[in-house]
Amino acid sequence: MNNEIILISTTSNLTVTIKEVLKKRKLEFSVYEATMEEAYKISEAAIGSGTKVVICRGGTATYLRDKVGVPVVDIRHGFIDIHLSVESAKKISDKIGVIGFRDICEAARDYNQIMKTDILVTEIQNQNEIRERLKEYIDNGIKVVIGGFQLAKAAKKYNMPCVMGHADPAAINQALNEALHDLKIEIERKEKYETINSILNCTSEGIVGIERDGQIIHINEIAKKILNYKEQRNIKEVLPSSLLIDTANTGRENFSELLNVGGQSIVINSVPIKVEDKTIGAVATIQEENKIQSIDREIRKKHLGSGHVAKKTFNDIIGRSRAIDIVKKRAARYAESDSTILIIGETGTGKEVFAQSIHNYSNRKRQPFVAINCAALPENILESELFGYVKGAFTGARNEGKAGIFELAHMGTVFLDEISEVSTDVQVKLLRVIQEKEVSRIGDDKVIPIDVRILAASNKNLMEEIYKGNFREDLYYRLAVLELELPPLRDRKGDVQELIYYFIKEKAKGNMIIAQDAIQMLCDYDWPGNVRQLANIIERLTVICEGGIIDGEKTAEVLKNMTFIKPDANKSKEKPASETEAKLINIIEMLIGERRNTSDIQKTSKVIEKEEIFNDIRKEVFPEINLFELNAFAQIEAEIIKEALEKTGGNREKTAELLSISTTTLWRKMKKFNLL
């Protein structure tokens, strides 16, 4: 017997018809005969055993709907029911009355209207009215009544004939169909509930849902454990001071609320539950602070474990062209110094590789190397990562505080990638760290001395950012004590072939060769994405090419699909500098960082060696000028810049490229010589 649906009949006639319908439909559901309180007791017992839908009739159905927690389907009274009952009553007397609840009375009134009869109809609100109405009917000469089980019991005491309501099989079938539909919905709802409940119990966080008045509508197992839950009904009994109630009442979100419950610190985040913009409650996630800290430590250990070590060296920088060779040698010289270095270069030119190489070539190579991408983090998080914080610095701060990267990199190197993306507020604090060589954690007035070498990188023109008000000029000069401008791959085409072979060896699974026409295509390409783009293309070719050969056809297809073009990718080819111009450019580059006063007798051997190099170049080009006649050199420098500007039609980017200096350096020189 299936007990997912039970039927409670209120009359013997109804019981007989229900059983006939069930037999015809081959359904095996339990059928009981009871009304009101007795029907309620039967329903509760059945629900406890798994019943999900109850089918009943009339007033008893209405009574059960207010009492039980499952759907109650009514076998509705209809015209046929009343007609059959009236026909049975007429066999006794024409003086007929109907006493019952709203459903049967409405059907009786409809019958009167359709059949043009005047059967007396009396609607009651509860079964206690039955005897009183029955007495009134007897006094009014009514000889037979139509109604339910309770009316039949009362009528028997007064020797009044009673016809118990008939049931139309169609109404029973309709009720069964409705009950089966409700059963399906109830099963689906139960499955969804159990699925959601399982998901909520699988999370590492406690979850609590409440109504506006604080009544708990859901609490998962994790929350029960954290809050030591003992079946309390209202959240105020568990979290009396929480902002969760405020969220449920006002609709305001509250995050990172720190509370002490049962001797342990917990963090609560609460958001409102809204239906059509109306707040009906709130849901909160609850975490134990010590677990948050534990997770934070594990994540930080993994991140900092790799970030503390510089893996690249100058040997990892592939290429033998003059352009890359000059930069590598310059970077190696810079590595011997402790001055800050600003590494400038387009995306994909290898700024972090150079930063790691400089660190590993310096006397700090055995110390930490900590890199951070300034564009990857929001301002408030970036600030806490850079400078650290103390306990209570802000809501949700760890009890023991946290060291920033400057502390972590003590005695080592900090690499600030995409420095142009740092907000001006953080720039002020960063400037102080560089100037004072000390850091203060957020929320603390204590200063911590630090000894770090700072490398910064940008793919933007910081001078332009200064003009736009996005970057502080004083910070720029602090960062750009030494400048290292990395050449784009299009300016070191001689390295492309070597890079191709390197990346094939690195990316290919097994042996793979490349056709000469494919090499030529790759060498002729402008590479707006530089070395990173080349590595990407080679990896793609090693995957799509078959037979262990990278051919020209596939290469042409891949390059054809590359739609990313930089503004200068189609620039006209400039005539290469003459030998004399090249020598003059070398003089300018060396003069930028190496001017000395002739009266300084404390020159080091390295400076003297560089001055000898200057003299060798100077004698070939301007034999009549002494190296230390600085005004003369300034005039030469200005004239060369003027000539370069004329050649390029005043285009500063092309001028800087012609002189092999950065646009920032060119701007400084133009300002110095009043050429702006």
Residue 26: which CATH number? 3.40.50.2300
Q: Which of 61-70, 252-261, 614-623 has the lowest mean pLDDT?
A: 614-623
238, 249 contact by CB (below 8 A)? no
For 157-195, write each residue's pLDDT tens digit: 888 999 887 778 888 999 999 999 999 998 888 888 788
Per-residue pLDDT for 420 more than 80? yes
596 and 536, same domain (yes or no): no
Per-residue pLDDT for 154 more than 50? yes
Per-residue pLDDT for 313 more than 90? yes
Q: How high is the pLDDT of residue 597?
A: 41
% of the chain beyond a pLDDT of 70: 85
459 and 313, same domain (yes or no): yes
For 470-521, write each residue's pLDDT tens digit: 999 999 999 999 999 999 999 999 999 999 999 999 888 888 899 999 999 9
Residue 10 confidence class, pLDDT cut points 50, 70, 90: confident
Per-residue pLDDT for 305 more than 60? no
Residue 661 confidence class, pLDDT cut points 50, 70, 90: confident
Per-residue pLDDT for 307 more than 80? no
Total of domains in the chain: 6
Can you tell me the distance from the alpha carbon of 408 to that of 295, in angstroms, rounded to the nearest whole number? 19
Kindly state whether residue 12 falls inside one of the protein's structural domains: yes
625-636 average pLDDT score: 57
Residue 394 confidence class, pLDDT cut points 50, 70, 90: low
Per-residue pLDDT for 612 more than 90? no
41 and 122, same domain (yes or no): no
456 and 380, same domain (yes or no): yes
Question: Which run of H or of E encompasses 224?
Answer: helix 221-227
Backbone φ, ψ for residue 650 (5° rounding): 85, 5
Residue 402 confidence class, pLDDT cut points 50, 70, 90: confident
Terminal Cα distance for the chain, rounded: 98
Nearest partner of 9 among 144, 156, 175, judged by Cα: 175
SS3 sequence of 509-532: CCCCEECHHHHHHHHHCCCCCHHH
Can you give the CATH number for the domain in which 282 is found?
Answer: 3.30.450.20
Residue 393 confidence class, pLDDT cut points 50, 70, 90: low
Per-residue pLDDT for 616 more than 60? no
Per-residue pLDDT for 24 more than 90? yes
355 and 444, same domain (yes or no): yes
Can you tell me the distance from the alpha carbon of 151 to that of 99, in angstroms, rounded to the nearest whole number? 7
Residue 590 confidence class, pLDDT cut points 50, 70, 90: low
Q: How high is the pLDDT of residue 582?
A: 52
What three-state secondary structure class fits 658? helix
Q: How high is the pLDDT of residue 501?
A: 92
Per-residue pLDDT for 594 more than 70? no
Q: How high is the pLDDT of residue 399?
A: 57
550 and 645, same domain (yes or no): no
Kindly state whether residue 189 falls inside one of the protein's structural domains: no
Q: How high is the pLDDT of residue 605?
A: 36
224-238 average pLDDT score: 86
73-95 average pLDDT score: 89
Residue 631 confidence class, pLDDT cut points 50, 70, 90: low
Can you give the CATH number for the domain in which 516 is found?
Answer: 1.10.8.60
353 and 471, same domain (yes or no): yes
Per-residue pLDDT for 568 more than 60? no
146 and 279, same domain (yes or no): no
315 and 454, same domain (yes or no): yes
CB atoms within 10 A of CB 73: 24
Alpha carbon 399 to its chain's center: 26
476 and 603, same domain (yes or no): no
Kindly state whether residue 426 falls inside one of the protein's structural domains: yes
328 and 425, same domain (yes or no): yes
Per-residue pLDDT for 439 more than 90? no
Mean pLDDT score across all residues of the chain: 83
Angstrom CA distances, 144 to 88, 91, 98, 111, 140, stand at 10, 10, 9, 17, 12
CA angle, 630 then 327 then 577, to 5°: 65
